[in-house]
Chain A
Amino acid sequence: MARKSVKTDRAAKAAQLRQEAARKERRNKIAGVSIAGIAVLAIGGGTWFGISQGNKVDSAAAPEGATSTLGFPVTSAASTDGAVRVDIYEDFQCPACGSFESAAGPGLNKLVEEGDAVVNYHMMSFLGPESVRATAAAACAVDAGKFGDYHSELYAQQPAEQAGGYTIDSLLAAGTKVGLDSAEFTSCVSDQDYATFAKKVDVAATKRGVDSTPSVFIDGKPYELGGPIEDLIKSIKEAVK
């Protein structure tokens, strides 16, 4: 009697263990399929989200005065069709661009004033939201026909990199300083009308192979920066002939 009861106990226990193992396996299977499904959905959904964001950037409108390559031109009354086209890629926050502007800005402006060159500034914004705000505001200045002055003014008061500079207030104040105080400009800057467009400039620049800022092209040909600024001015003048 006693022996038999022990035996059935053992059999029952074994059956119970087997059942538990089967249950666990089933549970793991369900968990595995769910986890794999969630991963596939996340990747698919995320990619779709990315594509829709990319399309939004692609279809963002440029300011009317921008070039086909999304540069903001600086011209003067003396500008002619024969002027050399200089393309400069910058980010309003990039310190090297700040030094470049303070060194080369006056010389470049002189070339523009004398009708020798037209400078197209491609304002990139890969250094963060501060740059996006500044580029978007600069696009508003293009609409208002005062990009050149505004560009110089923003570089004159370049804030520390990635420290929350170029606030809407400071961008508006910079505008007032160069005579940009219309209601259109104010609302354009405050509403960040060109924030999505700003990203489009980065995409166009990368497609062109621009990998760092500042980058300069004279007549469409890349110019190697690094030498004295006089060399740059000289090279542009030589291209005039």
Chain B
Amino acid sequence: MTLVRFVVGGVWVGSALFKVADPVASANAVRAYQILPDSLAAVTGYALPWVELSLGALLILGAFTRIAAIATALFMVLFIVGVSQAWARGIALDCGCFGGGGLVSELPVTDYLTVIGRDIAIAAASVWLALRPNTYFGLLDSKPNPRPDTEETP
């Protein structure tokens, strides 16, 4: 479980780091999904990398693990919905999952199934983590000391 926490957190931080430097491209990547009205898509694109970075940091630190894990699972559901609707509507899309502009330079395009499968895997891991948020090396949510309890009751 401790490993799951670090892996999911690491994926968030990794994906965020590719995006924070270029907020305009991030906004455009959200726009490419053609779901949100323009101004809302832009703000979502600006905020998303920082939300991802925060969730990743919380998971890696082991703080508010349950909340961060539930949020991660919800985001994965949203991402799956976004990718699926683009797929269904025939929008050529580079998912922009790990940065990039969300556009493609030639067909064939993104393997939508791979993206969705990856999101499902992360969502499943997050749900598991939400059920058992106390793992080792956590700053706030930590497993109790694994040594036998030495405290004496008077």
Contacts and interface: CB of A to CB of B under 8 A. Distances in A.
B95 interface: no
Nearest to B154: A10
A13 interface: yes
Given A32-B63, A46-B46, A46-B50, A212 B31 contact: no
Contacts of B26: 50
Contact of A11 (B24, B31, B154): B154
B154 A42 contact: no
Interface stretch (B7-15, B73-81, B105-113): B105-113
Interface of A: 7, 10-11, 13-14, 17, 28, 31-32, 35-36, 39, 42-43, 45-47, 49-51, 53-54, 57, 91, 93-97, 124, 126-127, 161, 199, 202-203, 205-207, 209-213
> Most chain-A CB neighbours within 10 Å: which of B58, B63, B151, B152?
B63
A212 B38 contact: no
29 contacts: A14-B154, A35-B58, A35-B63, A42-B50, A43-B50, A43-B54, A46-B23, A46-B46, A46-B49, A47-B47, A47-B50, A49-B46, A50-B26, A50-B27, A50-B43, A51-B42, A51-B46, A96-B106, A127-B101, A199-B25, A203-B28, A206-B32, A206-B103, A207-B38, A211-B91, A211-B92, A212-B103, A212-B104, A212-B105
Interface residues of B, number: 43
Contacts of B121: none
Interface string B33-70: 01000100011011101110110011001011000000
Contacts, number: 125
B140 interface: yes
B133 interface: no
Contacts of B43: 47, 50-51
A34 to B, nearest CB: 10
Nearest to A46: B50
B106 A39 contact: no
A199 B152 CA distance: 67
Given A43-B47, A43-B50, A126 B152 contact: no
B82 interface: no
Contact of A199 (B24, B42, B46, B103): B24
Given A28-B140, A32-B63, A35-B63, A46 B24 contact: no
A126 B24 CA distance: 11
B61 to A, nearest CB: 7
Contacts of A203: 24, 27-28, 31
B11 to A, nearest CB: 18
A94 B105 contact: yes
Nearest to B101: A126
B46 A50 contact: yes
A104 B37 CA distance: 35
Given A28-B140, A31-B140, A211-B91, A54 B50 contact: no
Nearest to A127: B105
Given A126-B101, A211-B103, A212-B103, A53 B57 contact: no
